[in-house]
Amino acid sequence: MKKVFSAILIITVISLFFLCSCDNAKNDEEQSTDFNEEMIAVIEKSPALTSGNLITKTDTDDDGNIIVTYYDNKDNPVEEYVWNGDEKISHNVMQYTESGLISTREEISPDGKSNTVYFYSYSDNGVLTGTTISTYENSLLIKTSTYDANENITEYILNSYNDKNLVVKAQRYNGDDNLLEYSVYDYNENSQLKKFSTFTADDELEKYTTFEYNSEGQKISEKYFDGNNVLQSRYVTEYYDSGETKSITVYDGNGNIVSSETFQQQ
């Protein structure tokens, strides 16, 4: 069975700025891309503004909506806004590989409360091999879907949350909507993850991991067990008084040291 993954995306929303020239070489004013009606009017008058390595271009679609697009110095569109008057109706952010292939695209809802992130995978010669789509609501990852190169869905994961917005269950399905496995998350009174368990679709325990913390809330132990409750490995973490990690030691199921790493205090 494949390992359930928990995607924690940190998509950095690029903060872009443009310069507006006023009355023949007066000081430039820096304005953000959170356009109001006045700012849109300025952009319409200046369809190609530059700011550092960014180029701003505007267009109008058949419905009269204003499309504002930012390009990097390789002419890749990195951010796009669509406005209907002073109302923002769409917002997309794009990132690219070093070879210029799009690697991620984030669609942000006008109210900013939900977004969808597309992750693109390629072969060594630049051929698209698959796409992963993660859907968020109020910053919570709700669904992660995986597609092959022909846009056929191969599997997806649905996450459930408690009233503290902590994920409590993740269910993995194949492309035919058949449950493959699911994971359950348990937390301590401090909302720290204390146990992570994976079960088959028939509710048989496959494996689980337990976590322990010290009085400072730092994770000091991770224990990995198989479905028969046999310890497979253990990670032990020690800390300096400053809170920095001092060492991480890995043991096998019999208590033998597999690896150990010590870190210098900063």
Mean pLDDT, the chain, integer? 83
- Spatial separation of the C-alpha atoms in residues 66 and 35, rounded to whole Å: 11
Mean pLDDT of 97-112: 92
How far is CA 147 from its chain centroid?
17
Report the pLDDT value the prediction gives residue 86, as an integer from 0 to 100. 81
Q: What would the two tokens of residue 143 be?
A: 């669904």
In a domain, 180, yes or no: no
Res 51 pLDDT > 90: no
Res 31 pLDDT > 70: no
Contacting residues for 218 by C-beta, under 8 A, at least 6 apart = 237, 239, 243
In a domain, 178, yes or no: no
Phi, psi (rounded to 5 degrees) for 125? -100, 15
In a domain, 57, yes or no: yes
In a domain, 30, yes or no: yes
In a domain, 62, yes or no: yes
pLDDT, tens digit, 9 for 90 and up, residues 215-237: 999 999 999 999 999 999 999 99
Q: Quick one: what percent of the chain has pLDDT higher than 90?
A: 67
In a domain, 97, yes or no: no
| Cβ proximity of 128 and 121 under 8 Å | yes
Domain that holds residue 36: 14-89
- Residues recorded for the chain: 266
**Total domain count, the chain:** 1
In a domain, 19, yes or no: yes
**Three-class DSSP category at 229:** coil
In a domain, 216, yes or no: no
pLDDT, tens digit, 9 for 90 and up, residues 66-94: 999 999 888 899 999 899 888 888 999 99
Closest listed residue to residue 33, CA positions, set 45, 22, 49, 10: 49
Closest listed residue to residue 155, CA positions, set 137, 138, 180: 180
Res 99 pLDDT > 60: yes
Q: What would the two tokens of residue 8 be?
A: 């924690």
